[in-house]
Structure 1
Amino acid sequence: MRKVLIDTNMYSAFKRGNKDIVSAFQHIDYIGINIVVLAELYAGFKGSKKENSNRIELESFINSPRVHFINNDMDTADFYAQIFNSLKKKGTPIPTNDIWIAASALQNGLALFTLDKHFQYVDGLILK
């Protein structure tokens, strides 16, 4: 069973019909999505001609039995702080939202399904 937290760019690539990504999604048993990814997607939809249809498609995706909403909590904040300080010490900062996404993945023992290479700097994070 493959368990992942998806990054925003993976959902976008999936919806654009990227064949490799669509195929990979078919082999994932547990797809986590968190509030940060959801917010980034909503922000991307906002004001576009397809805002309503994009939101409806996303809602349908989230309601799939394989998709699970991952909540952030106080423990997520602790993971965030650890990641932030580690990256600062290494001199390898990454975007704030991506630290939250990485914290959520680590907290929940999920691999991160992403196209962003900078996640490689997060200690202990498994990338798919």
Structure 2
Amino acid sequence: MSGRYLLDTNIIIVLFADEAVIKNNLAQANEVFIPSIAIGELYYGARKSGRTQANLARVDELVANSAVLVCDAETAHRYGDVKNKLRLQGRPLPENDIWIAALALQHNLILVNKQNGRELCCTYLCECSLSG
């Protein structure tokens, strides 16, 4: 699994749970980035959890040891494109997922997420960037 990857929030949560397969795959990556949007989601999850302090510390450690990508005007431009393409396809997504996809497109990264119990790379992202 070599390449340049952007991790979605749900993959980061799996990494926190020490899932070996995903950790091993990501260890082979050339570069791994964390979107600032995911960090916000993780801080929110930590705040509402039963182990607030431990989970906040875990997120703090992730931020300190990761390459974090933040949104800018170019990200916003990509966000608008992706959201409109999804609207035209009748495929709404949560707002944060669209922002994360926009960051991946902007930086030419493979988006890694986990849905329905399996690891997916670049699902809606590829479709949005290649169509229309």
Normalising by structure 2, report the TM-score.
0.83
Deviates more, 1:102-111 or 1:27-36: 27-36
- Count the aligned residue pairs: 122
- Please show how residues 103-118 of structure 1 align to structure 2 within 5 Å: 103-116=102-115
Structure with higher strand content = 2
Shift of 1:41: 0.6
Q: Which runs of 5+ in 1 are unaligned?
A: none
Q: Which runs of 5+ in 2 are unaligned?
A: none
- Please show how residues 1-128 of structure 1 align to structure 2 within 5 Å: 2-64=3-65, 67-116=66-115, 120-122=123-125, 123-124=128-129
Shift of 1:108: 0.9
Aligned equivalents of 1:120, 1:25: Cα separation in 2: 17
Aligned equivalents of 2:37, 2:107: Cα separation in 1: 15
Shift of 1:90: 0.8
The answer to whether the Cα contact below 8 Å between 1:36 and 1:97 also exists between their aligned partners in 2 is: yes
Aligned equivalents of 2:39, 2:16: Cα separation in 1: 14
Aligned equivalents of 1:110, 1:76: Cα separation in 2: 13
What whole-Å deviation, never above 9, does each CA across 1:85-115 have from its counterpart, x for those lacking one?
Answer: 1011111111111000000110011111111
What whole-Å deviation, never above 9, does each CA across 1:57-82 have from its counterpart, x for those lacking one?
Answer: 22222222xx2110101111100000
SS at match of 1:92: coil
The answer to whether the Cα contact below 8 Å between 2:34 and 2:69 also exists between their aligned partners in 1 is: yes
Aligned equivalents of 1:61, 1:2: Cα separation in 2: 20
Provide closer, same or farther for how the CA distance between residues 68 and 95 of structure 1 changes in structure 2, counting only shifts above 3 A: same
Q: % of aligned pairs identical?
A: 29
RMSD of equivalent CA atoms: 1.8
